[in-house]
Amino acid sequence: MAKHPEPRSFPFLTLLVVTGLSAYAVFHLRAVLAPFFLSVALAYLLNPIINWMESQGLRREAAVVLFYIVVAGSLTIAAQQVLPSIKEEFTDLKASLPVYLDHGQDTLMRTHAKVLHWLPMDPTTAKGYTEKIYEPLIEQIQNIPSYLLGLFPFLSLFFLIPFITFFLLLDWHNILSGFIQLCPGRYVEQVLYIIAEVETSLGNYLRGAMIVVAAVGTASYVGLKLLGVKYSIAIAALSGVSSFIPYMGAIVGAAVGCVAAWVQSGSILAGLKVVLLFTVIRLADEAFVQPVVSKHAVKLHPLVYLLSLMVGGELFGFVGLVFAVPTACILKALLKVGWEWYTTEGYLAAPPVDGESSPYT
Amino acid sequence: MIKFLKRLFTDPELQKKKVFLRSLELFNDLSSRDLGFLVRSLHTRTYKEGEAIFEEGDIGRAMFILETGRVELGMREQSGKTRKIFTLEPGDFFGEMAMLERLPRSASARAVERAHIHLLYRANLEEILHYHPRIGVSIMTHLAQLMSMRLRHANKLSLLHQPPTYG
């Protein structure tokens, strides 16, 4: 056999520098990159469907276009059913928002006066303390319309994300093959191992999250509708989307739904019913949905969940909260692979097999 | 018209890969549909002449199917030199032990000419076994038959090289 040059060692330092620079770039470009990351996640979720269509003999381009046509058709039919309700809710909210805000401000003022009356201290000192609590609350209520307007730029994502996803789905195999082709030949198996581990943990998390979002959103809509709360579609959508962040779906749904029900009916009992509804939804999620979802998912300690959410929120704001847990899943998979390499690579020996000494018959 | 539509919607590359895979003994039991699923589970890479595919002692995680080109398998001798033990031709597969055990590779593999190779990664085979058990069982049965054949051959060789016993 011809003598070949010894293979070079793995360029860990280069990898470290490239990873560091990439992390720095991602941090500074986070606002721009968020739609791309969301599109990658969506493409990743949809890829098995396109793969299945491809395995049936369809050309990938045809499979992607056909899938988009089917989804667009289904969404158009669904929108025809749901859009009138959304429009009705929106028109109603536009008309009643100032009334609700005034009502909220009045309620806060009245409770402020009551609290001042109850507090066993000098009224001027008590007012100083309570105003510190109440003034920011009143300020936040006044800011609600601008917060709602601030949500409109996010609507552009509904067009941008499917657009980017389309091209990612078309070139998914080429991107992966190109990456594998770039890796040094000897490390292809290891790179595939990393991809498989990340795919397992991230894929299970994303698929699980989608199931939770759909389940919480649907249950919230049905529950709120039964309780007769107005704007049930908006509150259920908010609660469903917030479920991407663990434990947040029920909290956001209960908080917004409670205030809405309280203001609409003028009774605190209606608000408490909504809180009870979201408590039941949370418990049902824990009892019935989570066991199915987390069966194959990466097990993250609740403290790791919390820490990743805090770090993600601190570094990247709302986007950081959404991507915190998937990033923790990826890091855990990478750590697992790294540790396995460190402990096993080159040190494994064939285990003794029972009956090894008996002749093969 | 039908021909035009067929050309527009069907993937000729997939058909080519299916024909190649069906020509291998390992996959000749699989139906066209099964081969479609299998193709989607394979990763493909082109290795340059002289490029290492794996080294003796690396942990095996994939099986390799050679479509074009030639690959040499070699073993390290005590002197440190690598001794050639086999040359693989198109249609051969190697590294299949990684499908059954998580142990260091017993030989090195290197492309002696530009080689187009399909990789079946163990996690992909496990996925096939889970979601398409018929395909997975067929592959595993062929691998088991191959191992059995090699073991019989090794037994025969060890008997031939045993010193004779008297009395």
Smallest Cβ–Cβ distance between B55 and the set A51, A176, A186 belongs to A186
Contacts made by residues B121-125, CB under 8 angstroms, sequence distance 24+: B121/A189, B121/A192, B121/A193, B121/A196, B121/B41, B121/B43, B121/B61, B121/B62, B122/B61, B122/B62, B122/B63, B122/B98, B123/A192, B123/A193, B123/A196, B123/A200, B124/A196, B124/B41, B124/B42, B125/B41, B125/B63, B125/B99
Q: Is A20 helix (H, G, I), strand (E, B) or coil?
A: helix
| A2 pLDDT more than 50 | no
- Asked if the Cβ–Cβ distance from B59 to A59 is below 8 Å, we say no
- Residue A95 is predicted with a pLDDT of 76
- Asked if the Cβ–Cβ distance from A185 to B47 is below 8 Å, we say yes
**Residue A281's closest CA among A234, A226, A325?**
A226
B151: chain A residues, CB-CB within 8 Å: 360
- Asked if the Cβ–Cβ distance from A185 to B9 is below 8 Å, we say no
Report DSSP state, residue A353: -
B152: chain A residues, CB-CB within 8 Å: 360
Query: In this structure, what is the dihedral angle of CA atoms A138, A89, A227, A109, given to the nearest 10 degrees?
Result: 10
List C-alpha distances in Å: A72 to A66, A163, A233, A337: 10, 12, 21, 40
Question: Whole-prediction pTM value?
Answer: 0.70
Determine the residue of chain B that is closest to A361 in CA distance: B152
Q: Is A58 helix (H, G, I), strand (E, B) or coil?
A: strand
DSSP A286-299: IIIIHHHHTTSS--
Q: ∠A324-A327-A333 over CA atoms, to 5°?
A: 140
- Asked if the Cβ–Cβ distance from A192 to B121 is below 8 Å, we say yes
Best residue of B21, B59, B114 to probe chain A, by most A CBs closer than 10 Å: B59
Distance from CA of B21 to the nearest CA of A (A): 14
B145 touches chain A (CB under 8 A): no
Q: Say which range, A99-108, A352-361, B29-38, has the weakest mean pLDDT.
A: A352-361
Q: Say which range, A108-122, A164-178, B39-53, B142-156, has the weakest mean pLDDT.
A: A108-122
CA A202, distance to chain mean position in Å, is 12
Distance from CA of B167 to the nearest CA of A (A): 22
B119: chain A residues, CB-CB within 8 Å: 188-189, 192
| A357 pLDDT more than 70 | no
Q: Give whichever of A91-100, A166-175, B75-84 has the largest mean pLDDT.
A: A166-175
End-to-end, the C-alpha distance of chain B in Å comes to 83
Distance from CA of A341 to the nearest CA of B (A): 9
Q: Is A350 helix (H, G, I), strand (E, B) or coil?
A: coil
Report DSSP state, residue A230: T
The predicted-structure confidence for B60-116, as pLDDT tens digits, reads as follows 888 999 999 999 999 988 887 888 888 999 999 888 888 887 778 888 999 999 999
Calculate the average pLDDT of chain A.
79
A2: chain B residues, CB-CB within 8 Å: 112
Give the pLDDT mean for A304-308: 82
- Asked if the Cβ–Cβ distance from B11 to A51 is below 8 Å, we say no
Determine the residue of chain B that is closest to A1 in CA distance: B84
Q: Is A52 helix (H, G, I), strand (E, B) or coil?
A: helix
CA distance A163 to A155: 13
Pairing of strands B115-121, B52-54: unpaired
Cβ-Cβ contacts under 8 Å for B38 (sequence gap 6 or more): B21, B27, B30, B128, B135
Tokens standing for residue A310: 């805090």
- Residue B69 is predicted with a pLDDT of 93
The predicted-structure confidence for A17-69, as pLDDT tens digits, reads as follows 888 888 888 777 777 787 888 888 888 888 889 988 988 888 889 999 999 99
B68 touches chain A (CB under 8 A): no
**Residue A209's closest CA among A4, A38, A33?**
A38
Q: Is A1 helix (H, G, I), strand (E, B) or coil?
A: coil
In this prediction, residue B164 has a pLDDT band, given cuts at 50, 70 and 90, of low
CA distance B84 to A159: 58
B124 touches chain A (CB under 8 A): yes
Give the pLDDT mean for A139-162: 73
A336 compared with A133, residue with greater pLDDT: A336
- The fraction of chain B above a pLDDT of 90, given in percent, is 25
| A1 pLDDT more than 50 | no
CA A213, distance to chain mean position in Å, is 9
Distance from CA of A268 to the nearest CA of B (A): 52
Determine the residue of chain A that is closest to B72 in CA distance: A1
- Asked if the Cβ–Cβ distance from B14 to A192 is below 8 Å, we say no
Backbone angles phi, psi at A352, to 5 degrees: -65, 135
- Asked if the Cβ–Cβ distance from B52 to A4 is below 8 Å, we say yes
The HSE-up count of residue B7 (CA atoms within 13 Å, CB side) is 4
B166 touches chain A (CB under 8 A): no
Determine the residue of chain B that is closest to A181 in CA distance: B45
Best residue of A49, A192, A204, A356 to probe chain B, by most B CBs closer than 10 Å: A192
| A294 pLDDT more than 70 | no
| A233 pLDDT more than 90 | no
